[in-house]
Amino acid sequence: MSEVMISPASGRVMGITEGGDRTVSIFMQLYNSHITVAPLDGVVRRIIPERGKFKPAFMRSSDFNTRNTIELATEYGTVRVVQIAGFFTRKIICQVQEGQKIRKGEQMGKICFGSRVDVSIPEDFELCVSGGTRVRCRKTVIAILQ
């Protein structure tokens, strides 16, 4: 069976960025579960918290919002899971530490209320979702190893 990459959050795919770093952006509404999980097995290489604004997470201007980037070293390369605060959100909880081994589906943190999660897709993976797709944390396959 091929390796699959699971959705790190529940919500709706609001966009996919192609190019050098393919990224799937998932918008979480207030009623979605706001936990963030590891999309693949790996080791937490770096955690980068950044202060910023608190614009609505579904708007392009949210690219400058407060965020927490978790870099995972996986056997397929580096995967970045970016927890982005939204308009109502003022708190991002990170539950992992640098150097920690983490399994696919294991909880990495939580973003309180409506927010966004961006996840980078390794080069050898083929996307299984598109804009508008509803995804469920731990359940939806977002990419599969080619």
Residues annotated as catalytic (active site), given as ranges = 115
Query: 107 phi and psi, to 5 degrees?
Result: -65, 135
Distance between CA 31 and CA 34 in Å, rounded? Answer: 9
Tokens of 10: 């529940």
Distance between CA 64 and CA 7 in Å, rounded? Answer: 23
The CA R_g of the chain, rounded to the nearest whole Å, is 14
- Spatial strand order of the sheet with 101-102 comes to 101-102, 42-50, 67-74, 77-85, 115-120, 23-28, 11-17, 134-135
Distance between CA 120 and CA 24 in Å, rounded? Answer: 6
Distance between CA 46 and CA 48 in Å, rounded? Answer: 6
